[in-house]
């Protein structure tokens, strides 16, 4: 079935079809439409979900931890400052290995307060132990959320599915949606390994760990998290076989013979594809690599695509004081580990679009021009006044 809806409504529709046991969420621009649309589903009796209308994002994440520990399939949604307020509990959710699925509508962090898109919110949470999946479009947001349920439950890590605030969250897009039955069958029934509602088999969740055990528990996270990559691949493939839209760890667009490859996530990848099509028509060998999975980071797989090419990494967030944005740092580290050098794989880094600033096709062409010159270590902000 094809419908014309916004990215937010696509997320809410996915939630409706997933029909989680518990949702706890709080409104924040630009995610608000998701909780509004979902509330309507709840009040119309279109879902069986117990919807906990919490008084803050901190309590949203706290309540889904309580619900997930009780063996319930749980979801939540947020943006920007809301995600920042959850920060403490993000780590707890991940460390308790609870399969919570959260849809994040990317928005700039304050200050100054700004409601528009950048990736500072989810990039700030990249070390929290959550699997992070990024979506170029409403279609990808929808598909990723449905897959995220399976990924979270099989990998036993929480998953955040990100899309760009306003750019895709508020744009109407025509997308292919699945039948309720198809979603239900794809995600299957959740069978939790443990539940605090199992009163006959009492467990203690969230104990105090000191220097004698904490490190071993962290070691389990460190060892297990990269394995989630295989789960993401397997489920992306199965989704493709069943519904015709296959998903991997990233999308490589015309990279095979490319001399210059642009690396960028979420909606700006769409703009970049238009640039690549245009330049290809003029005979220029350019391509795009759009990471889908950012945590765990598919370092070796990405390096295999990029090695030997000239690379322009476009970041929509900055790690203040670092050498480049977080995506570029990951890419450079991946390349170095794969044995790439400054001379065979020069990497130029760009920051774009903070606080919703447009990125134009000319900006992307400029980044490609810089990369073509092989200016390794080049750092630049695009479309910003001096």
Partner 1 sequence: MTTIRDLSKAKEGLASGHRLCAGCTAGTIVRQVLLTALNKYHVVVGAATGCLEVATTIYPDTAWTVPFIHNAFENAAATISGAEAAYRALKEKGKVDKEIRFIAFGGDGGTYDIGLQSLSGALERGHRFLYVCYNNDAYMNTGIQRSGATPRWAATTTSPAGKKIPGKPQMRKDLTSIVAAHDIPYVAQVALGYPNQLIKAVEKALEADGPSFINVYMPCTTGWKFDPSLGIEISRLAVETCVWPMYEVDNGEWRLLYKPREKKPVEEWLKLQGRFSHIFKREDKDELLRQIQEDVDRKWHQLLKRCGEE
Tokens of 192: 């939790």
Residue 45 C-beta: closest distance to partner 1, Å? 12
Does 188 bind partner 1 (CB under 8 A)? Our answer is no
Does 202 bind partner 1 (CB under 8 A)? Our answer is yes
Q: How far apart are CA 52 and CA 101, in angstroms?
A: 15
Residues in the chain: 386
Does 184 bind partner 1 (CB under 8 A)? Our answer is no
Residue 58 C-beta: closest distance to partner 1, Å? 7
The binder of partner 1 chosen from 3, 32, 39, 50 (CB under 8 A) = 50
Separation of CA 95 from chain center: 19
Does 71 bind partner 1 (CB under 8 A)? Our answer is yes
Q: Give, in order, the Cα–Cα distances in Å from 261 to each of 22, 292, 348.
A: 42, 16, 11
Nearer to partner 1, 52 or 327 (CB): 52
Which range touches partner 1 (CB under 8 A), out of 87-95, 138-146, 253-261, 339-347? 87-95
SS3 301: helix
Tokens of 172: 């109407």
Other beta carbons less than 10 A from residue 253's beta carbon: 18
Q: How far apart are CA 259 and CA 68, in angstroms?
A: 47
Which range touches partner 1 (CB under 8 A), out of 46-54, 232-240, 291-299, 302-310? 46-54
SS3 330: helix
Helix (H) or strand (E) holding 126: none
Nearer to partner 1, 69 or 275 (CB): 69
Residue 267 C-beta: closest distance to partner 1, Å? 32
The binder of partner 1 chosen from 31, 74, 81, 128 (CB under 8 A) = 74
Tokens of 262: 């642009």
Beta bridge partners of 176: 2
Total binding residues toward partner 1, as defined by CB under 8 A? 42
Which range touches partner 1 (CB under 8 A), out of 35-43, 205-213, 237-245, 281-289? 205-213
The residue ranges that bind partner 1 (CB under 8 A) are 21-22, 24, 48-50, 52-56, 58-59, 62-72, 74, 88-89, 92, 196-199, 202-210, 213
């Amino acid at each position: 079935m094809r419908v014309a809806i916004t990215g937010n409504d696509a997320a809410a529709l996915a939630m409706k079809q997933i029909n989680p046991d518990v949702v706890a969420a709080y409104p924040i621009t630009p995610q608000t439409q998701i909780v509004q649309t979902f509330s309507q589903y709840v009040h119309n009796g279109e879902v069986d979900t117990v919807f906990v209308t919490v008084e803050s994002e901190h309590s949203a994440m706290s309540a889904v931890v309580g619900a997930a520990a009780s063996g319930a399939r749980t979801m939540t949604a947020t943006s920007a400052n809301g995600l920042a307020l959850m920060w403490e509990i993000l780590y707890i959710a991940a460390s308790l290995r609870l399969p919570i699925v959260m849809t994040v509508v990317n928005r700039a962090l304050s200050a100054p307060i700004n409601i528009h898109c950048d990736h500072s919110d989810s990039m700030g949470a990249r070390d929290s132990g959550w699997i992070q999946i990024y979506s170029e479009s409403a279609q990808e947001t929808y598909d990723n959320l449905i897959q995220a349920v399976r990924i979270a439950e099989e990998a036993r890590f929480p998953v955040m599915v990100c899309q760009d605030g306003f750019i895709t969250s508020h744009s109407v897009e025509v997308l292919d949606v699945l039948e309720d039955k198809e979603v239900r069958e794809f995600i299957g029934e959740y069978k939790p390994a443990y539940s605090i509602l199992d009163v006959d088999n009492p467990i203690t969740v969230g104990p105090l760990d000191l220097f004698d055990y904490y490190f071993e528990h962290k070691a389990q996270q460190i060892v297990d998290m990269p394995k989630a990559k295989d789960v993401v691949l397997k489920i992306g493939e199965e989704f493709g076989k069943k519904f015709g839209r296959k998903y991997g760890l990233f999308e490589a667009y015309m990279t095979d013979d490319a001399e210059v490859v642009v690396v960028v996530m979420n909606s700006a990848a769409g703009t970049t594809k238009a640039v690549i099509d245009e330049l290809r028509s003029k005979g220029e060998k350019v391509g795009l690599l759009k990471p889908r999975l950012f945590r765990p980071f598919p370092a070796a797989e990405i390096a295999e695509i990029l090695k030997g090419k000239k690379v322009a990494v476009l970041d929509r967030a900055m790690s203040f004081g670092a050498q480049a944005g977080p995506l570029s740092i990951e890419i450079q580290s991946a390349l170095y580990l794969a044995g790439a050098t400054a001379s065979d794989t020069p990497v130029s880094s760009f920051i774009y679009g903070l606080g919703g600033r447009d990125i134009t096709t000319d900006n992307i062409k400029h980044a490609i021009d810089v990369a073509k010159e092989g200016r390794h270590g080049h750092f630049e902000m695009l479309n910003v006044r001096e």
